[in-house]
Amino acid sequence: MQLYGYWRSSATYRVRIALSLKNISYQSIEINLIEKGGEQHSDYFHALNPTELVPVLVDGGLRINQSMVILDYLDEHYPQPLLVPITGEQRYLIRSLAQDIAVDIHPLNNLRVQQFLTHQMKVKECDKQKWLKYWIMEGFESLDEKLKPLAGKFCVGADVTLVDVCLAPQVYNALRVGVDMTKYPTLNRVYQTLMQHPAFIAAQPENQTGAPTN
Amino acid sequence: MQLYGYWRSSATYRVRIALSLKNISYQSIEINLIEKGGEQHSDYFHALNPTELVPVLVDGGLRINQSMVILDYLDEHYPQPLLVPITGEQRYLIRSLAQDIAVDIHPLNNLRVQQFLTHQMKVKECDKQKWLKYWIMEGFESLDEKLKPLAGKFCVGADVTLVDVCLAPQVYNALRVGVDMTKYPTLNRVYQTLMQHPAFIAAQPENQTGAPTN
């Protein structure tokens, strides 16, 4: 199994967490999104995913380019531990909460969006920062409200689920742009717990090849 | 079953198509996103979905607020016709192509994003239009490339799949902002076919209660 991704890409970070939780060995192939205009735009990577976004997972003849679909694939083929229950109401609840992050927050703050705001829309740096913080805070406010009655040790109950897999990278981004996580006590508490979990530690951006060492 | 949505919301449009294809009867409850500052921000709707976005599907005690999860739920409980194969490589291919639209294009052009660009970022109307067109064209270019070798009568082969369910509302949005669909011959051809399909016609925004009659 090969994972094409970037150390700081939060969609790649999600997949690394799942691989780590499921104890699946894989080859990590770095696509540098920053240097030389971005390797995601190379002919080599375009052939893997014409959308020119990471991550891409290759498993034998199978190639998947959407992180949430990669997570589904892993859960359906490597069910130990399951991240989403196979049946029941919690199946849809957990998937919805995960997409509240992966669909309603993350796409708005992706690297290409930041680049478009700066280079095409000529938005000032302070306004770009306002944009980045706004969408995370907007999303975290309702997510914290939703998780308050559901959370145990983790986002939903006592076990790690798909929601935690999506939450950790989004909080990582939030901290980078200076969001005050104490405004979201449930998210903040769970995040602190996740950052003690060996699988999450192994998947952290700073622990990947390609991350700056300083 | 109750569907809370808005006639012009393209995420709601997706769900209507699936309900229509599967011949499921349901009650449509309009949440007017425009008038009086937007009914999605009312206490009444906030209680249904604190994220204050449509659609929300209620089926007995189950409540789902993400359109892609609603589509999963419908496919898993009302499998005639199936929109995503239950197993095999096509399962992940179809889900990825659907998310290329639902994750990589649509969230960037949602109503709340347009409102934020105008009111908070003070972006000019012409720049907002540039933004809207850019993300659709960027996404459609790679999607057309991906679908060219896969398409039959529909996006993937001879049967309607989840990709078609996501494509039709996104093309509807594209046409609203003046995207030239002839640049995307495969998408354009499939869209013309979908617009002849009774289930897609029944789900069209203009055929819903709440749409202007003129």
Task: For residue A134, give the nearest of B96, B116, B134 by CB distance.
Answer: B116
Mean pLDDT, chain B, as a whole number? 97
Predicted pLDDT at B95: 98
Q: How far is A211 from chain B (nearest CA, A)?
A: 26
Q: Report angle CA A27, A31, A34 to the nearest 5 degrees.
A: 150
DSSP annotation of B184: S
Strand order in the sheet with B62-64: B27-30, B2-5, B56-59, B62-64
Structure confidence at residue A135 (pLDDT): 98
| pLDDT of A206 strictly over 80 | yes
Interacting residues of A58 by C-beta distance below 8 A, sequence separation 6+: A1, A2, A4, A48
Residue B209 has pLDDT above 90, yes or no: no
| pLDDT at residue B124, as a whole number | 94
d(CA A191, CA A171) in angstroms, rounded, equals 7
A111 in contact with B, Cβ within 8 Å:
no
A59 close contact with B: CB closer than 8 A: no
Distance CA A148, CA A142 (A): 10
Report yes or no: A115 at the B interface, CB cutoff 8 Å: no
pLDDT above 80 (res A103):
yes
What pLDDT is attached to residue A88?
94
Q: How many CB atoms lie within 10 A of CB B158?
A: 8
Q: What is the rounded distance in angstroms from the CA atom of residue B154 to the CA atom of residue B31?
A: 31
> Which residues of chain A make contact with B130, given a CB cutoff of 8 A?
120-121
First to last CA, chain A: 30
Would you call A51 and B103 a contact, using CB atoms and an 8 Å cutoff? no
Q: pLDDT tens digits, residue range B52-84?
A: 999 999 999 999 999 999 999 999 999 999 999
Amino acid B213: pLDDT: 81
**Cα dihedral sign, A60-A64-A65-A69:** negative
Residue ranges per structural domain of chain A? 2-80, 89-200
**Digit-coded pLDDT (tens) for B140-199:** 999 999 999 999 999 999 999 999 999 999 999 999 999 999 999 999 999 999 999 999
Bridge pairing between strands B2-5 and B27-30 = parallel
| Helices and strands: H and E segment counts in chain B | 9, 4
Q: What percent of chain A has pLDDT over 70?
A: 100
Q: Classify residue A151 by its DSSP letter.
A: B
Tell which B residues from 141 to 180 touch A, by Cβ distance under 8 Å. 142-143, 145-146
Give the pLDDT score at A214.
Answer: 64
Cα-Cα-Cα-Cα torsion A181, B33, B16, B159, nearest 10 degrees, comes to -70
Residue range A32-87, pLDDT digits in tens = 999 989 999 999 999 999 999 999 999 999 999 999 999 999 999 999 999 999 99
Task: Look at residue A210 in the predicted model and tell me its pLDDT.
Answer: 85
Phi and psi angles of residue A6, each rounded to the nearest 5 degrees, phi first:
-140, 145
The mean pLDDT value of chain A amounts to 97
Fold for the domain defined by B89-200: Glutathione S-transferase Yfyf (Class Pi); Chain A, domain 2 (1.20.1050)
The answer to whether the Cβ–Cβ distance between A61 and B89 falls below 8 Å is: yes
Residue A17, pLDDT above cutoff 80: yes
B76-121 pLDDT, tens per residue?
999 999 999 999 999 999 999 999 999 999 999 999 999 999 999 9
DSSP letters for A97-138: HHHHHHTTTGGGG-HHHHHHHHHTS---HHHHHHHHHHHHHH
Reply yes or no on domain A2-80 having CATH 3.40.30.10.
yes
pLDDT at A209 over 90: no
Residues of A in contact with B116 (CB under 8 A): 131, 134
In whole angstroms, what is the distance from residue B76 CA to residue B58 CA? 16
pLDDT digits (tens, 9 = 90+) for B20-48: 999 999 999 999 999 989 999 999 999 99
ipTM: 0.97
What is the least distance, in Å, from the CA of B194 to any CA of chain A? Answer: 24
Please report the pLDDT score of residue A212 as a whole number.
87
Q: Does A197 touch chain B (CB under 8 A)?
A: no
Return the pLDDT at A184. 98
CB pairs under 8 A between A and B: 98
Under a CB-based contact definition with an 8 Å cutoff, are residues A31 and A45 in contact? yes
pLDDT more than 90, % of chain B: 97
Cα–Cα distance, A9 to A54 (Å, whole number): 8
Whether A88 has its CB under 8 Å from any CB of chain B: the answer is no
Average pLDDT on A174-192 reads 98
Distance from the Cα of B178 to chain A's closest Cα (Å) equals 19
Residue B157 has φ and ψ, to the nearest 5°, of: 80, -150
Query: How far is the alpha carbon of A213 from chain B, nearest alpha carbon, in Å?
Result: 32
Closest approach of B196 to chain A, Cα-based (Å) = 29
Can you say whether the dihedral through the CA atoms of B97, B100, B103, B105 is positive or negative?
negative
Does residue B214 register a pLDDT over 70? no
Burial of B103 by CB count in 10 Å (0-12 exposed, 13-18 middle, 19+ buried)?
buried
Does the distance separating the beta carbons of B116 and A65 come in below 8 Å? no
Judged by CB atoms closer than 8 Å, whether chains meet at B100 and A142 is answered as no
Looking at 3.40.30.10, 3.40.50.720, 3.10.180.10, 3.20.20.70, the CATH number of the domain B2-81 comes to 3.40.30.10
